[in-house]
Structure 1
Amino acid sequence: MEIIKKPWQGTSEEILQKLESSQDGLTDFEAQKRLFKFGANSIARQTPIPYLQIFFNQFEDLLVLLLIFAALLSFILGDFRNGIILSIIVFINAIIGFSQEYKAEKILRALTKYLPSMVKVKRAGEEKQIDSRYLVPGDICILGQGDKVPADLRLLEAYDLKTNDQALTGEAKPQTKAVKNYPQDNVSLVEVENCLFMGTLVVDGEALAVVTSTGLATEFGKIAQKTIQIDKSLSPLQVKTRRMAKRIAILAALVVIALVIYKYFLGRDILDALTFSIAVAAALVPEGLPATISVALSLGARNLASRQALVKNLVSVETLGSVTVICTDKTGTLTTGQMEVKEIWDKLNPEINEEERQRLITEIFVLCSDAQVSQEQEFGDPMELALLRWVEKQGIDWEKIRHQNQKVAEIPFNSRRRFMSVTYRNNSGQISTYLKGAPEVIIEKCLINNEE
């Protein structure tokens, strides 16, 4: 079997031939062989940090280590008062840092629903549901509206297919997908229409597709692998505090040595001289600085949290303040990636009362739409989702309206027609047709005079 680096090139028949597969799918035996060869269709996520490790990480700062060292020496030399005070300062500093990072880690552990657990495939001509982890190159997948794409796929059949590729490309607008060929090499992922990519969502239509890549070999997996391989570096604040702590440690060591030598030549007891020297050295360490820094950063993290920004590591607050240039995607990052109904402008027949006007607008929003909104997920065209959310805000049960009407016919929206129309029969047997589309197209179909 040949590894396909550019699955959008060539015909679908050529892709199937390279994958040594067919539209009937692989046999279970062949799928098991390939699973052993290519591994599970999953992306290794970074292991969650144990809470105990988060706590002990608070003691890694060099300034904190200096305080711990000073506290230990104080206990050894019998200065319990100073030792207890230093220990309390170190402990309070650790609690402040741990509490913030614990909350962030707890939230991050809850954000793990990226890929589907089950997927419909064809194996030896039979349709079956399997765990998406067991998908292998050459498997034939069957996808419909609302399905998440479980791997990188090449389309074999597509019917009014649209996907939301925001997770991969940042583009929130549904992308039209179709069975076609690309003879050229220089095609970006945003332009590819004959492939589906792991982590994206089918918002409309149906498709039959063959798996070309799984796991870390997918485009989504390659991005994830790069994020795992990022080297961890010190923040600007950590660099500065570490530099200061080194200078304090060197100065304290010189002070201890100098005072011990001085006291020795004065004929003092060596233990008394050492005790006095260590007390002076400990006084050089700014005991309140670590706690002051932690409190300041914690307040910054709390302010960011009030603006829906999660801070996983406290020192990141200061790092963000040191940033001079930010390169970022807009849709879904700086913006929510969602449309919202702000105002409804209508000029209906003045003979129609307010209650009837509300009913007509609601029916158009609900029935002339294929979108679905639930507590678990939303899928469909962004504009249709916005219309449904508006209906929900009015306290109207849009699902009840759909149950009370039976769809008789539908003409889907496309760029050439520029409108969508649906015909419904209600429980009374009355048939109504609803249109939604570009204003100029809808106006042409209305019986209105020039003044209107």
Structure 2
Amino acid sequence: MTSVLHGGGPAPCGAVPGPVEPGAPASAVPSLPVSGVFVALEGSPRGLGAAEAAGRRISHGTNDLPAFGRRRIWPRLAAQFADLFAVMLLAASAITFLSYGLEQPRDPATLQLAFAILAVVLLNAGIGFAQEYSAERTAQSLQAMVPRTCRVLRDGERQELPARDLVPGDLVVLEAGDAVPADCRLVEAQEAAVNNAALTGESDAVARVADAVPPGPLLEARNCVFMGTDLVAGTAKAVVFATGAGTEFGRLFRLTAAAPRQQTPLQRQVAAMARRVAGVALATGAVLFAVRVPSGQPFVDTFVFALGVMVALVPEGLPATLSVSLAIGVRRMARRHALVKQLLAVEALGSTSVVCTDKTGTLTQAEMTVVRLWADGAYHPLTGVGYAPVGEVADAGPVRELLRAAALCCDARLVPPSGPLGWRVLGDTTEGALLVAAAKAGVDTAVEEARSPRVAEHPFDSVRKLMSTVRREPDDTYAAYVKGAPLELLARCVAVDRNGTRTPLTDASRAEVVAAADELAGQGLRVLAVATRRVSGPRPALDDAESELTLRGLTGMYDPPRPEVRDAVDACRRAGIRIVMVTGDHPLTAEAVARRVGIVRAPDPTVVTGAALDALDDAGLDALLDGAGELLLCRVSPEHKMRVVTAFQQRGEVVAVTGDGANDAPALKHADIGVAMGASGTDVAREAAVMVLLDDSFASITTAVGLGRSVYRNIRKFLIYLFSHNIAELVPILAATFTRFPLVPITAVQILAIDLGSDVLPALALGAEPMEKDVMDRPPRPRHERLFSAGVMGRICFLGGIQALGVCAVFFWHIHASGIPATDFTKDTPAYREAITMVQAGIVVSQFFNALAVRTDRQSVFRAGLLSNPWLIGAGCVGIGLMAAISYAPPLQAVFDTAPLNATDWAVLAGFGALLLAAEEVRKWMVRLRRTSSKGEGR
């Protein structure tokens, strides 16, 4: 996992005295000439051989960073006991043990209570640890699904390999958008520039060269590129000199990997809630302890009473339930092809209000196919789809030179079928489509490249929107082959090809070309223009290579929309999510695709180009985004995309951004939810994003938003469920205090049995509740909405109040029906044991009905289906079964001071539970009625 060529901290570059020796230190590599680099690193211009690479991998290890960020098992388990609720219960257990040691005579029930509290802490910690460990393993396994590959030369052949298989001496091929997979020394560089922000903090691109440089700090060597950075322009070849932990990035990783993660808003809300609950529990217990001590109650009994109050207010199962709910959300999203890299980012998806989406690969299938050509004043259709070079070109003669020139201005490579994989493109899909079209016209690209070898290149960039290559022709002259955006390229043309003759470009012919380009774009095609010119030498300047050109023609290619996207767009509309297309394509092409997928429906959408955005000040941009109409942003640069995202966020929107290229990384990182393409995206985009679409489909975004909303709603459901029964536990204790009843209506041991045996499993089942059918028919939740909103607190009090009234009624009814004066009750009085058994059983039974009630916010649970979550039914039955065992099993009766209940008792309790469910159904009906009325008034 480390390279022998470089290790430790940053090393200075230094000249190598004497002849170049194999195995020279990394500090000397930048000062070597290109020929000396291969000698020092024991490489070759043809790359390593397969056998040599395998041997080096054995001796050097894989190109991986060590997992320093993972805590070992024991520290992770110990962290479960640092939770505030756990600390409170551990302290309560310790005090109870102490009370047992001090009381005379010693009551076994006190010892049982101490062990019971300790058991709850241990079991809850075990559940929390298991869920956290499972979630971590799930996140790691899902993260491994994201491909991390690089291109290398092995035995003279270009291959695509996992980046972890790189070894020192490998010859890596880099293109714009690639992440640098290891520390490398450049041996070829064409207009190459890198972004070293990950290492140096400098966001500006830095040019890179292949020549030797003077001695200096290694990170400042202009002929080296480093792991963790990315190539933002140009192409290059580089020899690996350090891998894994031996890289500069590995050195920084060792310093930062163990740093604690920052808390998410959800974590902070839960932590604040825990502090408030703990404070209320301690304060309430202390006040009641102070009230009862002067009344002459035994000290230990009074302490146990106060302890019961404290335990009644602590939701012990909350941490584990929260963890498993988020983990379930991650798994569900992964099954829908959406990988969320941060577990706690799941719930943030639910508040997405704006999606800024690109076009190619997300809304479309990312299989570009040239379907129409324009040359010599005529259109020429092509047949066949995809990357298989099968099809025909109508009247191929006039367009053969156009397609030859286009193919010679490409970096991509067409890869034949291999195993289960069909024809595919290694490189840019647009260039792949040109190669396929050339093959259909009978152009043998391999032969043409051999006849006209490349000697120079001016890579594409988003400013000039052109790419050019320079090749040596068979007659030893040189020619430039240029392709790019029609208007930009046409402005550099002075002639047009007519029947193989170079004809001056007049205003009329220029207008003819523009009209042809507009017609192709209006059909939803992506249009590229192709031109050539003779140049005087092998390395002409950029302006010389791309001026006084001869236009060869136009290519129109089509990337069909994904069939599932239209339904996904409709779902976003219903959910109140605004979709803005942000693309570098021609406005006509963008509008055609947007209409096909349903983003645009109006006859006159607002279409704004990057140039128009430059002319808008901040107020003008805000006014543009404020419009409720359909908006398309075309011909935009990465800077434009970043500015639009920032403007939306300043308006209070929660923005999701899609992207696949290195130039999308700033917007992906700045967005609330950055969404990268997993199949076609670059490594840089995937690293910058929070979510990766494994199938590159916009429909997966919509599904993920729905699941994110569902996760957030499920969290609220089990919070309502957990805290409402706390009210039912606390109110009887308070009622007994104020009525001066000498004993507690429910003991601390019983409360622990409820929290552990009857609450945790149903709460976990609520975390796995299926997504409600209408979850995407509601507007996004506000960005600053609190987890414990007024609505949540209202439902907690409503449901908890009904439960509290029910258990208070059955307790005092049993006490009153016994005919025994309150002052004569003892722990062994049968009527008292029956009464507290009724309280415990009443809470358990009502919680079963409560779990059914909180499954939906507005929809009737009967319409949702009582059996649609079988895990919840099973968990509730387990809780009731445990309560029956506590009531009837003599050993458990001795522990919990309970008595057997008869059929009438169970019927009464079931009646109270059904009353709770009925009351909640009435509340939901009233909410639906108000909603219907408000809609009617709105019309």
TM-score, length-scaled by structure 2? 0.31
* 2:227 paired residue among 179, 186, 198: 198
* 1:152 paired residue among 183, 188, 201: 183
1:151-300 matches, within 5 Å, as 151-155=182-186, 157-158=187-188, 160=190, 162=192, 177-179=209-211, 181=213, 193-198=222-227, 207=237, 211=241, 216=245, 218-232=247-261, 235-237=267-269, 239-248=271-280, 250-251=282-283, 254=286, 257-258=289-290, 261-262=293-294, 265-266=296-297, 272-286=301-315
For 2:507, the equivalent position in structure 1 comes to: 450
Q: Write out per-residue CA displacement over residues 210-269 of structure 1, whole angstroms, 9 at most, x where no aligned residue.
A: 84x665564322442343142446553354245335424533662575367346x24x5x
* Aligned partner letter, 2:508: E
Q: Write out per-residue CA displacement over residues 136-160 of structure 1, whole angstroms, 9 at most, x where no aligned residue.
A: xxxx6644568986643444x4365
* Aligned partner letter, 1:368: C
Q: Write out per-residue CA displacement over residues 108-164 of structure 1, whole angstroms, 9 at most, x where no aligned residue.
A: 354584789x9979xxxxxxxxx97874xxxx6644568986643444x43658577
* Aligned partner letter, 2:494: E
1:46 to 2:68 alignment:
yes
User: CA separation in 2, counterparts of 1:75 and 1:239?
Assistant: 31
Q: Write out per-residue CA displacement over residues 145-187 of structure 1, whole angstroms, 9 at most, x where no aligned residue.
A: 68986643444x43658577689589899966331546898x9
Q: Write out per-residue CA displacement over residues 367-390 of structure 1, whole angstroms, 9 at most, x where no aligned residue.
A: 53122477799865xxxx141465
Higher RCO (CA-CA < 8 Å; seq separation 6+): 1
CA change 1:255–1:70 in 2 (3 A) is same
User: CA separation in 2, counterparts of 1:93 and 1:346?
Assistant: 62
For 2:376, the equivalent position in structure 1 comes to: 349
User: CA separation in 1, counterparts of 2:18 and 2:128?
Assistant: 64
Q: CA deviation at 1:5?
A: 3.5
* Aligned partner letter, 1:387: T
CA change 1:244–1:337 in 2 (3 A) is farther
* 2:342 paired residue among 312, 316, 322: 312
User: CA separation in 1, counterparts of 2:345 and 2:191?
Assistant: 45
Q: Write out per-residue CA displacement over residues 392-441 of structure 1, whole angstroms, 9 at most, x where no aligned residue.
A: 9xxx698898994422214443389963266999xxxxxxx965356147
8 A Cα contact 1:162 1:175, kept in partner:
yes
8 A Cα contact 2:329 2:346, kept in partner:
no
* Aligned partner letter, 1:413: E
User: CA separation in 2, counterparts of 1:220 and 1:67?
Assistant: 44
For 2:138, the equivalent position in structure 1 comes to: 103
CA change 1:51–1:194 in 2 (3 A) is same
Q: Secondary structure at the match of 1:444?
A: strand
8 A Cα contact 2:286 2:306, kept in partner:
no
1:38-77 matches, within 5 Å, as 43-46=65-68, 48=70, 60-63=82-85, 66=88, 77=112
CA change 1:337–1:215 in 2 (3 A) is farther
For 2:469, the equivalent position in structure 1 comes to: 420
CA change 1:150–1:6 in 2 (3 A) is farther
Larger radius of gyration: 2
Q: Secondary structure at the match of 1:46?
A: coil
CA change 1:434–1:221 in 2 (3 A) is same
Q: Which structure 2 segments of 5+ residues have no match? A: 44-59, 97-108, 156-163, 352-356, 383-392, 416-420, 475-479, 497-502, 510-939
Give the percent of matched residue pairs that are identical in Structure 1 and Structure 2. 18
* Aligned partner letter, 1:237: Q
User: CA separation in 2, counterparts of 1:317 and 1:52?
Assistant: 29
Q: CA deviation at 1:102?
A: 4.9
User: CA separation in 2, counterparts of 1:399 and 1:53?
Assistant: 61
User: CA separation in 1, counterparts of 2:240 and 2:331?
Assistant: 47
1:371 to 2:371 alignment:
no
Q: Secondary structure at the match of 2:269?
A: helix
CA change 1:201–1:295 in 2 (3 A) is closer
Q: Secondary structure at the match of 1:353?
A: strand
User: CA separation in 2, counterparts of 1:287 and 1:39?
Assistant: 45
* Aligned partner letter, 2:489: P
User: CA separation in 1, counterparts of 2:331 and 2:425?
Assistant: 30
For 2:780, the equivalent position in structure 1 comes to: none
Q: Which sits farther off after the overlay, 275-284 or 142-151? A: 142-151
User: CA separation in 2, counterparts of 1:207 and 1:87?
Assistant: 57
8 A Cα contact 1:54 1:102, kept in partner:
no
CA change 1:84–1:64 in 2 (3 A) is closer
* Aligned partner letter, 2:381: E
User: CA separation in 2, counterparts of 1:379 and 1:164?
Assistant: 21
* Aligned partner letter, 2:250: G
User: CA separation in 1, counterparts of 2:378 and 2:250?
Assistant: 59
CA change 1:441–1:197 in 2 (3 A) is farther
1:1-150 matches, within 5 Å, as 5-7=11-13, 19=28, 24-25=39-40, 43-46=65-68, 48=70, 60-63=82-85, 66=88, 77=112, 101-110=136-145, 113=148, 135=168, 142-144=171-173
CA change 1:101–1:80 in 2 (3 A) is same
* 2:452 paired residue among 395, 404, 409: 409
* 1:387 paired residue among 411, 420, 430: 430
* Aligned partner letter, 1:436: K
CA change 1:367–1:158 in 2 (3 A) is closer
Q: CA deviation at 1:195?
A: 1.9
Q: Secondary structure at the match of 2:508?
A: coil
User: CA separation in 2, counterparts of 1:423 and 1:27?
Assistant: 31
Number of equivalenced pairs: 395
User: CA separation in 2, counterparts of 1:57 and 1:399?
Assistant: 62
8 A Cα contact 1:101 1:314, kept in partner:
no
8 A Cα contact 1:176 1:193, kept in partner:
yes
Q: CA deviation at 1:194?
A: 1.9
For 1:436, the equivalent position in structure 2 comes to: 483
Q: Secondary structure at the match of 1:420?
A: strand
CA change 1:5–1:49 in 2 (3 A) is closer
User: CA separation in 1, counterparts of 2:438 and 2:257?
Assistant: 43
Q: Secondary structure at the match of 2:452?
A: strand
Q: Write out per-residue CA displacement over residues 6-46 of structure 1, whole angstroms, 9 at most, x where no aligned residue.
A: 54x87999997974995533799xxxxxxxxx999763233
Q: CA deviation at 1:193?
A: 4.0
For 2:734, the equivalent position in structure 1 comes to: none
* Aligned partner letter, 2:139: A
For 1:325, the equivalent position in structure 2 comes to: none
CA change 1:293–1:204 in 2 (3 A) is closer
* Aligned partner letter, 1:451: A
